[in-house]
């Protein structure tokens, strides 16, 4: 092997080692470090006690789940087919219009903690469209997490079901 071949082989080997080390470092992030950022809603299925699944949110639902580095979160999911209020004012909706919002939108904010060993994220609600959630801690088990996708299971929803949710990262992590 001549000197040029040895240098090329050493350069390739160093590059491979650097790539492996960088990959290992990325995988070494904590669960909390990995979830920080903005996630957009992909899907969520309510799993009933008998094992049947329903898609409460319907086609083209929209949502966002944001986790900041300081332990705060905001979550909102909305069906896409909620009819606009006839009066065009939020304070003049009919009982049916208000009910449609309450049944087809979820929105809350508060704090969150991460249990690395259990792979869970627990949100504690400080404010919500559904006031019964204020003060409630909701534990979600992280099923899978990659740079671009978060899947979790919420074992106890307000509907009395288990939710299996999928979110896609909206913006790169800093």
- pLDDT score, position 130: 93
User: How high does pLDDT run on average in the chain?
Assistant: 85
Task: Kindly tell me if the per-residue pLDDT of 157 is higher than 70.
Answer: yes
**How far apart are the C-alpha atoms of 25 and 27, rounded to whole Å?**
5
Terminal alpha carbon distance of the chain: 44
Per-residue pLDDT tens for 56-70?
Answer: 899 999 999 999 999
User: Structural domains in the chain?
Assistant: 31-169 (2.40.128.280)
What mean pLDDT comes out for the span 101-107? 95
Half-sphere exposure at residue 162, Cβ-oriented, CA atoms within 13 angstroms = 12
């Amino acid at each position: 092997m001549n000197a040029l071949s040895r240098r090329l082989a050493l350069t390739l080997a160093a590059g491979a080692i650097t790539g492996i080390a960088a990959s290992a470092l990325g995988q070494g992030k904590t669960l909390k470090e990995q979830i920080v950022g903005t996630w957009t809603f992909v899907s969520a299925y309510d799993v009933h006690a008998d094992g049947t699944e329903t898609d409460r949110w319907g086609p083209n639902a929209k949502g966002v789940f944001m986790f900041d580095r300081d332990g705060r979160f905001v979550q909102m999911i909305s069906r896409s087919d909620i009819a606009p209020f006839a009066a065009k004012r939020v304070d003049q909706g009919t009982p049916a219009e208000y009910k449609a919002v309450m049944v087809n939108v979820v929105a809350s904010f508060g704090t969150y903690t991460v249990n690395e060993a259990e792979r869970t994220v627990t949100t504690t609600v400080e404010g919500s469209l559904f006031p019964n959630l204020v003060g409630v801690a909701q534990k979600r088990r992280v099923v899978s997490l990659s740079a671009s996708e978060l899947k979790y299971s919420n074992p106890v929803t307000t509907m009395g079901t288990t939710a299996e949710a999928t979110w896609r990262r909206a913006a790169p992590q800093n």
